[in-house]
Chain A
């Protein structure tokens, strides 16, 4: 066809090209063509889970190395299975203790007593002290008045990895929710692309909606990968209803998307936006109990800690996965998440600048 005719040629729009579908497709294309975002959003949390899971895996109790100066002491101590005893002259024993090769040195003291040398700030030293003394006293004929029996608990659900995976899930929801919403919007504003888009007949809500659809469709993949790694590699339990788990993830993601939108509502430069994002996320990385329980913070700051959206998300996930709690039991957490969603979204729409 001639070019002049192409200029004036008018045709109806085929149905497949709905603007919302096109905009959402654009979100996916831009994301998939950004390898860094893929790594930090998807691969990194899994690597972190694997690394920390291995580092903090529950090992059989360690055998502690100690030294004894006399053969009699060494013999009595050797009866304790959790101690590995070495017989050494006093000077050599002291040297090994100093360099940390043994955690405790047992020497005969004046008048049939025993002297234990160890570092009481080292938990291993304190443990060795108790084990060694028990062994020495029993060898000398001490009888325990109360009989005791050990029952060992190494169940899934109480290990560090079980605690960690919900934490990382929450951290991922926050990072991806804020970053993958906020960054593209600020970038488009900076490049005047937002202004160009509002110069077309594009319905503005579609633009914002495309981020929502993009995030929700990505959610299954990003949560699925990390959860799958946790379940299959480490046997992390999901004791609550799976639908409840999904609902918590969706609500959490929406809350963080809204927060990302709020951060992006005015910023004109990537630097300003990154600053705001870090300012938002950093306190939550520390306070919200990703890697260790947020209960460890003083009581005075607990109300603040619990009001953070990441604390609420992670707590709700842990309740669901580890305790099998229902949505009703997690209602306070869900309310916090819902409040953040509502407030951020309303404020973001009020403040949002298209240029």
Chain B
């Protein structure tokens, strides 16, 4: 990594892709620097998969330019295939093959890369190397899919929703693997609709909605951009409706007060001053407090602030 931040690993300009009835990608611009982990964050149908698959040379764009590792798909496809590691959103690997056989097959396509045994050790599947793929758990399958993306010792790794559908423990395990690859100086582009995943793994994030980037920056910058550091939420056993929100809004450091599903949400800049004042005000109004929660603003809040919607409809 001589000049890690000067060279672009991926450059996308004015990318467009429409299917019969939807515009999946609508004039997208991206630049991913060598050595960084870049996240595409967005709700279902935002166009993340379409974008990443165009970059992977699997889908043809209607318009726009894509440059991967300084190369173009129409001229350098076979070189690019050797240098990219790819995990697709919904591949099912051959169920009848074992972990070892699967990786040996994938390894045979690449000129160079680690030995099969090394990749298996890397994703911690040693105990399962003789098991059939069909008998693996969801997390193990996902680690195998990651291993298949790593067998060619890629310069650039594309991961499309690497942890969707996994339990928290399996997700953390996968995050550690991705971080290790990142520490080795490789570039990663990943898509996700988990804000915690993006915050933990990504150096920079592009938030996508309806085929466009609506925000770009480090997770920290994006959170700071909405000007809210904390969120305070309380409920009061059915009495939340009678709270005088006007009075709450006048508390020092409180920016905005909203009612949502029987609870009250407040955007707050200084937690240490706002919370005591809130408790005092509720005491004065005689409102019994049944629940009080505070959390620091997340990328989810950024998305809500930008679109008025949540990332995932839960």
Contact = CB atoms under 8 A, between A and B. Distances in A.
Contact of B86 (A1, A30, A193, A199): A199
B115 A11 contact: yes
Interface stretch (B117-125, B166-174, B212-220): B117-125
Contact of A18 (B88, B101, B108, B113): B108
A21 to B, nearest CB: 8
Interface stretch (A2-10, A76-84, A224-232): A2-10
A33 B150 CA distance: 27
B109 A201 contact: yes
B152 interface: yes
Interface string B47-89: 0000000001110000000000000000000100110101010
B112 A198 contact: no
Given A4-B183, A192-B91, A196-B88, A201 B105 contact: no
- B contact residues, range: 35 or more
Interface in A118-170: none
Given A6-B122, A192-B88, A19 B109 contact: yes
Interface string B18-50: 000000000000000000000000000000000
A193 B78 CA distance: 19
Contacts of B115: 9, 11
B109 A200 contact: yes
B109 A199 contact: no
Nearest to A19: B108
Contact of A22 (B86, B105, B184): B105
Contacts of A17: 104, 107-108
Nearest to B57: A199
B91 A10 contact: no
B122 A7 contact: yes
Interface majority SS (helix, strand, loop, mixed), chain A: helix
B108 A13 contact: yes
A29 B90 CA distance: 23
B93 interface: yes
Contacts of A192: 88, 90-92
B18 to A, nearest CB: 18
B111 A13 contact: yes
A7 B109 contact: no
Nearest to A12: B112
A11 B96 CA distance: 28
B94 A26 contact: yes
A18 B132 CA distance: 22
Contact of A3 (B92, B101, B122): B122
B97 A13 contact: no
A191 interface: yes
Nearest to B180: A3
A34 interface: yes
A267 interface: no
Nearest to A22: B108
A202 interface: yes
Contact of A23 (B105, B112, B153): B105
Contacts of B150: 7
B143 interface: no
B186 interface: yes
Given A7-B186, A12-B112, A17-B107, A195 B96 contact: no
A200 B94 contact: no
Contacts of A7: 114, 122, 150, 153, 180-181, 184, 186
A117 interface: no
A355 interface: yes
A30 to B, nearest CB: 5
A233 B268 CA distance: 90
Nearest to A23: B105
A7 B185 CA distance: 10
B175 interface: no
A200 B114 contact: no
Contacts of A198: 58
B234 interface: no
Contacts of A30: 94, 96-97
B114 A9 contact: yes
B194 interface: no
Contacts of A355: 58
A29 B184 contact: no
Contacts of B97: 26, 29-30
A200 B102 CA distance: 13
Nearest to A16: B108
A33 B133 CA distance: 13
Interface in B242-286: none
Given A23-B105, A200-B81, A195 B121 contact: no
8 contacts: A3-B121, A6-B122, A7-B122, A7-B184, A9-B114, A22-B104, A34-B96, A188-B94
Interface of B: 56-58, 78, 81-82, 84, 86, 88, 90-94, 96-97, 101, 104-115, 118-119, 121-122, 132, 148, 150, 152-153, 180-181, 183-186
Interface of A: 1, 3-4, 6-13, 17-19, 21-23, 25-26, 29-30, 33-34, 188, 191-193, 195-196, 198-202, 355
Given A9-B118, A10-B113, A17-B104, 8 more contacts: A7-B114, A7-B153, A30-B96, A33-B96, A192-B90, A192-B92, A196-B86, A199-B57
The 6 closest A-B pairs by CB, nearest first: A191-B92, A201-B81, A6-B118, A22-B108, A196-B91, A33-B96
